[in-house]
Amino acid sequence: MKSLKLSREPAALPEPPPGDRPHPARRTLLSQLGIGVLIASAVGLANAFVRSLVPNVLYEPPRRFKIGSPERFPEGVTYLEDSRLFVVRDQNTFQAMSAVCTHLGCTVKMVTLNQSQTVEVRGQRFQEQREFHCPCHGSKYYGDGTNYAGPAPRPLERYRVEVMPDDGQLIVDVSQPVDRNYRLTV
């Protein structure tokens, strides 16, 4: 009778061939890469969380704003740099004209003429003492804002001007373009 010899030692696994064993340096690199990916994911999540707390609001300048009392404006043209507007006062009438060139949006400059000249725009003649010139590409506008030279496709915008009933200040509403003949009389 044959006796079977049982071994208590677990069978050892065969060693992988030397080429299949991960190099210790490669193992370290892989674990560092894993940690890097985890950190990047955590930062991305934190960033998304913080952004979700901030409302996604676009702040635009108001379309209707006060520019001061009529007495603030002397006869002629006053430039309001903050709002890029010319306020034109002719005795007790007021007009608000944009200083934004209708070509590509540069700010036009007022040029005072050495002597007044007669200009005819759409059948209306008027005496002109000033013009508006754009420094960017040479567009030129008559004193009433009508474009007559350069690439500007249309006149400077004019806006509605009103008087606040409670404090008597002038209000300009840039959401309401008006005709070139529009004037507020106070």
Binds ligand FES (CB under 6 A): choice among 87, 88, 97, 134 = 134
Tell me, by CB under 6 A, how many residues bind ligand FES.
Answer: 13
Does residue number 37 form part of the binding site for ligand FES (CB under 6 A)?
Answer: no
Does residue number 139 form part of the binding site for ligand FES (CB under 6 A)?
Answer: yes
| Candidates 20-28, 37-45, 49-57, 102-110; binding stretch for ligand FES (CB under 6 A) | 102-110
Give the 3-state DSSP-derived string for 28-77, with helices as H, strands as E and coil as C: HHHHHHHHHHHHHHHHHHHHHHHHHHCCCCCCCCCCEEEEECHHHCCCEE
C-beta neighbour count of 94 within 10 angstroms = 21
CB 184 within 8 A of CB 91: no
Tell me, residue by residue from 49 to 88, as one string, x for binding to ligand FES by CB under 6 A and - for no binding: ----------------------------------------
Q: What are phi and psi of 161, to 5 degrees?
A: -120, 135
Binds ligand FES (CB under 6 A): choice among 80, 119, 121, 136 = 136
Binds ligand FES (CB under 6 A): choice among 87, 103, 142, 144 = 103
Dist. CA 177–CA 60, nearest whole Å: 18
Does residue number 156 form part of the binding site for ligand FES (CB under 6 A)?
Answer: no
The residue type at 168: G
Q: Which two tokens stand for residue 133?
A: 């010139």
> Closer to ligand FES at the Cβ: 136 or 186?
136
What Rg value do the Cα atoms of the chain yield, rounded?
A: 37
Residues of this chain that bind ligand FES (CB under 6 A): 101, 103-106, 134, 136-139, 150-152
